[in-house]
Structure 1
Amino acid sequence: MNAIIGMLVTVAMVFGGYLLAGGKMEIITHALPFEGMMIGGAALGAFLAANDLTTIKHTVGDIASVFKGPKWKKQDYQDLLCLMHELLNVLKQNPVDIEPHIEAPNESDIFAKYPKILKDHSAVEMICDTIRSMIMNFDNVHQVEELLEAQLEGLQEDSLHGAHALQNMADALPALGIVAAVLGVIKTMAAIDKPPEILGGMIGGALVGTFLGVFLAYGIVGPFANKVKHNRTEEHFFYATIGGLLVSNLHHNPVNISVEVARRHAPARVRPTFDDVEQAIRELKKAA
């Protein structure tokens, strides 16, 4: 919602100020389709040339996230803590009983209670691989911490590909605007024998290219890139919460303590309260 409001405010203030200052929209509206085609087409072509198919698909999803916000909500963090509480209790009681859950999470009755987490391959993989390492007697806590840290760094790097691609596009747009403007000037020079009023309109149309490149870079695409980076960084805390909880358990802390450590690791905006988590765990015990 904020993204839509921000775009509307940006467009309204820029063009509103232009009109209030006595500017005429006819020049802009006449040149905009052609300048937009040159600048937008060049930006799109450069984007396709610079990125692989995975990054392109990722970027499309990232643009959608600008309007939807981060993937993980407060309820998801609470569900994660409940899921880990159940899994670690099973592991504590009998390590053999945990194997069906981590070897086939899609068939696990524990994971089935939390479908959104189950659909996230990265989260499930991190949970299952780390618990599998614990069963394999990885007694060196620091070794497991290093494995988790490397996995988290890889996840964060992958999640930011879209933001980097958008930022590169934003950096290129002002230069592409100049390219479009130069082409407009070339066209104007070819009509140097025209009356001054016609030449003025042609020069004004050429300058629309410079305006459009800078406006898109700093008014639309750049803010989108920053928003995507913010969303993906906040989402990364979800995976970091998993890592912190598992490491705490490896230090032989009780399951409840590990869950509380992880709860406090969550960002304040989406952090469930202590009472919420306790009530959810009590309900799980009653259901069991």
Structure 2
Amino acid sequence: MFQIIGLVLLFGMVFGSYAISGGKFDVITHAAPHELMAIGGAAVAAFLISNSIGVVKSSLGGIGKAFAGPKWKKQDYKDLLSLLFALTKTMKSKGVIALESHIEKPGESTIFQKYPKVLKDHFATDFICDTLRMMTMNLEDPHQIEDAMEKQLEKHHHEAAAAPHALQGMADALPALGIVAAVLGVIKTMGSITEPPEVLGGMIGGALVGTFMGVFLAYGIVGPLAARLQAIVDEEAAFYKIIQSVLVAHLHGNAAQISVEIGRGDIPSSAQPSFLEMEESLSAAPAEA
């Protein structure tokens, strides 16, 4: 919502001030299609040259995400902590044998099935199951497991951050591409140097539209979208960091409820449930725990 409001303000303030100051839109509307073709086409071409197909796809999806916001909401954090509570309590009270059926086939697990959104996230599910599987294989050194989890988180975050980095690269290139379009316009103008001043003025104005559009797109649209997407990627990374916090706390011998409380402290403030809200969620944890 705020992104749409921002775009409306962007166009309203920039072009509104131009109109109020007596600017004429016919120069912009006449030159804009050709300038956009040069600037936008070059930007897209450079984007395709510098990125893999996977990054291109995730960047296109990331534009929608920049408007939609993070996929993890307050209820999802509560569900994640409740899931981890059920799993760690099962492991502590019934042993690793009782846990094996849940981590080997999480899609068939009565614990995982109660939290479908977490189960649907392949990285979250694999991250939980792989870590618990290491614990069942008698790898109980908290520092070793924490280090292994940290490396997985770093790799996942690096891959997720490729899309905003690619968009930011496009934003950085747009002003220079605007200058390229403007130079082409100047070359065209110099070829018509014998024309009357009013004709030359219109041609020079059209050339400057290229510089304007490159800077406008870079700092008004693409750059802010890249920054917003990076913020969302960072916030979503906190969801997976909670898994690490809870499972490492469990390895240090804490009770399941204490481990969950440690994880609750890592939740972003805007989505953090209160202690009482978590108590209610934990009371609804699957009976297997």
TM-score (norm 2): 0.97
Contact 2:83 2:285 in 1 (8 A): no
Q: In the alignment, what sits opposite 1:46?
A: 46
Shift of 1:286: 7.2
Q: In the alignment, what sits opposite 1:281?
A: 282
Q: In the alignment, what sits opposite 1:9?
A: 9
Shift of 1:113: 1.1
1:72-126, Cα deviation, whole Å (9 max, x unpaired): 1100000001111111121112211111111111111211111111111110111
Give the secondary structure class of the aligned counterpart of 1:192: coil
**Which amino acid counterpart does residue 285 of structure 2 have in structure 1?**
L
Q: In the alignment, what sits opposite 2:158?
A: 157
Give the secondary structure class of the aligned counterpart of 2:284: helix
1:245-265, Cα deviation, whole Å (9 max, x unpaired): 000001010000000000111
1:119-148, Cα deviation, whole Å (9 max, x unpaired): 111101110010001111112111001101
**Which amino acid counterpart does residue 16 of structure 1 have in structure 2?**
G
Ranges in structure 1 where 5+ consecutive residues have no aligned partner: none
Contact 2:111 2:288 in 1 (8 A): no
**Which amino acid counterpart does residue 20 of structure 2 have in structure 1?**
L
Q: In the alignment, what sits opposite 1:144?
A: 145
Measured at CA, do residues 43 and 3 of structure 1 come closer, stay the same or move farther in structure 2, by a change above 3 Å?
Answer: same
Q: In the alignment, what sits opposite 1:69?
A: 69
Counterpart-to-counterpart distance in 1, 2:176 and 2:284: 59
Counterpart-to-counterpart distance in 2, 1:286 and 1:144: 28
Ranges in structure 2 where 5+ consecutive residues have no aligned partner: none
1:8-54, Cα deviation, whole Å (9 max, x unpaired): 10111000011111100000011001100110000000001100011
The range that moved more, 275-284 or 245-254, is: 275-284
Counterpart-to-counterpart distance in 1, 2:6 and 2:122: 33
The range that moved more, 42-51 or 105-114, is: 105-114
Q: In the alignment, what sits opposite 1:129?
A: 130
Give the secondary structure class of the aligned counterpart of 2:214: helix
Counterpart-to-counterpart distance in 2, 1:59 and 1:167: 11
Q: In the alignment, what sits opposite 1:78?
A: 78
Counterpart-to-counterpart distance in 2, 1:112 and 1:57: 30
Q: In the alignment, what sits opposite 1:232?
A: 233
Give the secondary structure class of the aligned counterpart of 2:132: helix
Counterpart-to-counterpart distance in 1, 2:34 and 2:163: 28
1:150-174, Cα deviation, whole Å (9 max, x unpaired): 1111111111000100110000000
Counterpart-to-counterpart distance in 2, 1:81 and 1:163: 29
- Structure 1 residues 87-102: aligned runs within 5 Å: 87-92=87-92, 93-102=94-103
Counterpart-to-counterpart distance in 1, 2:81 and 2:198: 70
Counterpart-to-counterpart distance in 2, 1:59 and 1:119: 21
The RMSD of aligned alpha carbons is 1.2
Size of the alignment, in residue pairs? 288
2:215 equivalent to 1:214: yes
**Which amino acid counterpart does residue 160 of structure 1 have in structure 2?**
A
**Which amino acid counterpart does residue 37 of structure 1 have in structure 2?**
M
Counterpart-to-counterpart distance in 2, 1:236 and 1:75: 16
Deviation >4 Å, runs of 4+: 285-288
Give the secondary structure class of the aligned counterpart of 1:145: helix
Give the secondary structure class of the aligned counterpart of 2:193: coil
The range that moved more, 256-265 or 92-101, is: 92-101
Q: In the alignment, what sits opposite 1:58?
A: 58
Counterpart-to-counterpart distance in 1, 2:89 and 2:256: 7
Counterpart-to-counterpart distance in 2, 1:38 and 1:285: 59
2:170 equivalent to 1:169: yes
TM-score (norm 1): 0.98
Counterpart-to-counterpart distance in 2, 1:287 and 1:201: 76
Shift of 1:179: 0.3
Give the secondary structure class of the aligned counterpart of 2:270: helix
Q: In the alignment, what sits opposite 2:27?
A: 27
